[in-house]
Amino acid sequence: MALLELQGICTYYGNIQALKDISLSVNEGEIVTLIGANGAGKTTTLMSICGITAIRSGKILLNGNDISSESPHKIVQMGISQVPEGRRIFPQLTVLENLDMGAFLRDDKENLKKDLDEVFSLFPRLAERRHQQGGTLSGGEQQMLAISRALMARPKVLLLDEPSLGLAPLIVQHIFEIIKHINEERKTTIFLVEQNANMALKIAHKGYVLQNGQIKMADSSEKLLANEDVRKAYLGL
Ligand code: ATP
């Protein structure tokens, strides 16, 4: 059974259909990526999973349980955390306070110290800057903080919305290495939405190509990286 499964999701903004019958699955332990151009519906897919944007039809299953009508905070408690596009951290709060916010819905507060140490070992830069306001960090550091804040909820599935957006290539490289590390070492399952198809497919096990709200292709990352249409349309080759 897949850990996260979308079955025939349709999502609308008013009369405009943003997602057209989206089905996909993410198995435990995998990194799965959803690639697509601007406006293809990637963010809408994540917002639908999180319960923030209501779906009109279809089902979203976590461990086989239908979560389609759960509230966003219940979905976080059930094990799905999102790192939103544009690293929406709390700029006025310190690094530590931002991380506390990520753990807000947990009821096992006794484990927080251990998780904080783990996050700080993943991102030593954040440890050094723990008392600094989030808004004073660089773009890359803010992305690290956004990822760490999501990890503080101890998710079963981590959703990442375009972590590479607006970051310099070297920083992007570092962020992707960390994502791979989180998957391999923390055994966190990852659903990664990206316009940077090349980087995303290189760390993912499996990929889906989204175009105009529809899944156009689904395959292993190696096969997608070698696919002529994908290379032309998404890899600029
Ligand atoms: P991007 O890379 O720009 O974030 P995306 O693939 O994430 O693109 P979405 O943001 O999911 O795409 O948008 C899918 C479609 O839905 C687009 O046509 C977009 O204009 C439309 N859309 C997104 N949000 C809204 C909204 N709040 N109201 C109306 N239409 C919206």
Average pLDDT over residues 196-218: 95
Residue 183 placed within a domain = no
Instruction: Quickly state the pLDDT bin for 102 (edges 50, 70, 90).
Output: confident
Residue 237: predicted pLDDT: 62
Q: Which residue has the CA at smallest separation from atom 27 of ligand 1?
A: 13
Tens of pLDDT, residues 152-175? 999 999 999 999 998 999 999 999
Contact 148, 102 (CB under 8 A): yes
- Cβ neighbours, 10 Å, residue 153: 21
Average pLDDT over residues 32-61: 96
Residues 198 and 209 in one domain: yes
For CA atoms 107, 113, 118, 123, the dihedral sign is positive
Residues 60 and 36 in one domain: yes
CA distances from 174 to 27, 32, 104, 147, 199 (A): 25, 19, 28, 13, 11
- Ligand 1 centroid–CA 147 distance in Å is 22
Task: Report the domain count for the chain.
Answer: 2
Contacts for 56 with CB less than 8 Å, ≥ 6 apart: 10, 11, 12
Cβ of 40 below 6 Å from ligand 1:
yes
Q: Which residue has the CA at smallest separation from atom 29 of ligand 1?
A: 13
Residue 45: predicted pLDDT: 98
Residue 177: predicted pLDDT: 95
Average pLDDT over residues 61-90: 93
Give 106 or 10, the one with higher predicted confidence: 10
Phi, psi of 64 (to 5 degrees): 85, -5
Query: Residue 236 pLDDT > 80, yes or no?
Result: no
Highest mean pLDDT among 11-25, 113-127, 219-233: 11-25
Residues 37 and 134 in one domain: no
Instruction: Quickly state the pLDDT bin for 52 (edges 50, 70, 90).
Output: very high
Query: Residue 109 pLDDT > 80, yes or no?
Result: no
> Which among 161, 123, 143 has a CA at the least distance from the CA of 40?
161
Query: Residue 53 pLDDT > 70, yes or no?
Result: yes
Query: Residue 218 pLDDT > 70, yes or no?
Result: yes
Residues 55 and 16 in one domain: yes
- Ligand 1 centroid–CA 66 distance in Å is 25
Residue 72: predicted pLDDT: 94
Residues 96 and 52 in one domain: no
Cβ of 194 below 6 Å from ligand 1:
no
Residue 136 placed within a domain = yes
Which of 18-27, 85-94, 105-114, 179-188 shows the lowest per-residue confidence on average (mean pLDDT)?
105-114
> Which among 178, 187, 181 has a CA at the least distance from the CA of 144?
178
Query: Residue 51 pLDDT > 70, yes or no?
Result: yes
Range of the domain at 106: 85-154
Residue 48: predicted pLDDT: 97
Cβ of 39 below 6 Å from ligand 1:
yes
From 9, 38, 43, mutation site for ligand 1 pocket: most ligand atoms within 8 A of C-beta = 43
From 10, 15, 16, mutation site for ligand 1 pocket: most ligand atoms within 8 A of C-beta = 16
CATH number at residue 64: 3.40.50.300
Residue 113: predicted pLDDT: 86
Average pLDDT over residues 125-129: 94
Query: Residue 108 pLDDT > 70, yes or no?
Result: yes
The model's pTM: 0.93
Residue 57 placed within a domain = yes
